[in-house]
Amino acid sequence: MTSMNRKPLLSLENLKVYYYTDEGVVKAVDSVSFNMDRGETVGLVGESGSGKSTLGLSILRLIPPPGKIVGGKVFFDGIDLTALSEDEMRKVRGKRIGMVFQDPMTSLNPLMKVGDHIVETIVSHEGVPREKAVERACSLLEDVGILPERFNDYPHQLSGGMRQRIMIALALCLKPDLVIADEPTSALDVIVQYQILELMRKLKQVYGMGLILITHDVSIVAEVADRIAIMYAGQLVEYSDVNSFFNSPLHPYSEALLESIPNIQLSDQKLKYIPGIPPSLINPPKGCRFHVRCPYAEHRCGEVEPQTVEFERGRFVKCFRYVE
């Protein structure tokens, strides 16, 4: 897709992840492709049920049954993750790709000291002696703004924000090249959200890892990301650098998404929203999946699926309006 001469850190090629449910096949991720470079932050944005969390989990091959990667490839640092054995994949998880989850209240084992989570991860990947891992865990706790004295606390003794800091420390403890953060701030209150974002931004400078930030909040992406990927109904509809995107969104869905951000200065205005509801992923609409809600829809939009085109260098969009 890109004409980079460097090897991208992560490259998805037509990734397809389907859930085989009793009601039918849910095409949660349907032919998604994009590249990201080392040290980059990609904001992956979409509504609930657009497939963004599934996409995040499928990179680590942790899709719960009845979900399955049915097609496409995930190249990470040149290696096709979909072709690795389960044991090789296990060595990638945590060590080379870290993950931060949405709900810090439920993502830590309630019966385990928070520090031991970190120690366990370090020891199981690097086989270092426990005392050494404890030392590293304590300095890591400091890095994420938690006093090392809290090492022996259990998760229920920490606040949501502190637990998310622990999750971040866990994702970073083996200095991975990529961290996938699935709505890391959604379960937190606003002030803590800001602190966590600040922390992630700071740590990115220290650790230099790539970051995929999955969120439904476009404004977060504006603050921290280099690139933005917009998902709609299991497909990537726009992929762009953040500046150009916020100046001139290409896809009609992106446009509508930006318009629906409430503006505090124009408080007497009515809230804008996108009419209609997101389509079913079992029977997605024919053609472009957005055409039912799209103000620019033409006849062909409901007939054939538009191809993804490179509108400008590094800006991709899946819409007929940009096809010559």
Partner 1 sequence: MSLRVYVARRILLAIPMILILLTIVFLVMRVAGDPVSAILGAHAPKEQIDKMREKLGLNDPLYIQFLGYLWKVLSLDLGRSLIWGQRPVLEEIMEHFPATLELSISAFLFGVVVGILTGIFSACRYGKLIDHFFRVYGIITYAIFIPWLGISLQLIFGVYLGWLPTSGRIDPLMAPKTITGLYVLDSLLTFNIPSLVSAIRHLILPTVTLGFYLSGIFTRLTRAHMLNVLQRDYIVAARARGLSERKVVYKHALKNAFIPILTMMGLQFAALLAGAILTETTFSWPGMGTFLTERILYRDFTTVQGTIVFFAFLVVLVSLIVDIIYVYIDPRIRY
Does 90 interact with partner 1 (rule: CB under 8 A)?
A: yes
Does 68 interact with partner 1 (rule: CB under 8 A)?
A: no
Handedness of CA 147, 151, 156, 157 (dihedral sign): negative
For residues 59 and 67, is the Cβ–Cβ distance under 8 A?
no
User: What six digits make up the tokens of 55?
Assistant: 């996409």
Query: 66 preceded by cis ω (within 30°)?
Result: yes
Does 184 interact with partner 1 (rule: CB under 8 A)?
A: no
H or E element that contains 181? strand 178-182
For partner 1, the binding residue among 108, 221, 224, 294 (CB under 8 A) is: 108
Does 124 interact with partner 1 (rule: CB under 8 A)?
A: yes
HEC readout, 2-36: CCCCCCCCEEEEEEEEEEEECCEEEEEEEEEEEEE
User: Which residue, 89 or 222, has its beta carbon nearer to partner 1?
Assistant: 89
Residue 19: CB minimum distance to partner 1, A: 15
Residues 270-289, one symbol each (x = binds partner 1 by CB under 8 A, - = not), give: --------------------
Contact positions with partner 1 (CB under 8 A) in 153-172: 154, 156-157, 167, 170
User: What six digits make up the tokens of 37?
Assistant: 């470079």
CA–CA distance, 182 with 177 (Å, rounded to integer): 16
Does 183 interact with partner 1 (rule: CB under 8 A)?
A: no
User: Which residue, 88 or 312, has its beta carbon nearer to partner 1?
Assistant: 88
In this structure, the strands spanning 67-76 and 10-21 are antiparallel
For partner 1, the binding residue among 34, 101, 232, 290 (CB under 8 A) is: 101
Does 94 interact with partner 1 (rule: CB under 8 A)?
A: yes
Residue 284: CB minimum distance to partner 1, A: 27
Does 91 interact with partner 1 (rule: CB under 8 A)?
A: yes
CA–CA distance, 265 with 268 (Å, rounded to integer): 9
| Interaction site with partner 1 (CB under 8 A) | 57, 60, 62, 64, 90-95, 98-99, 101, 103, 106-112, 120-121, 124-125, 154, 156-157, 167, 170
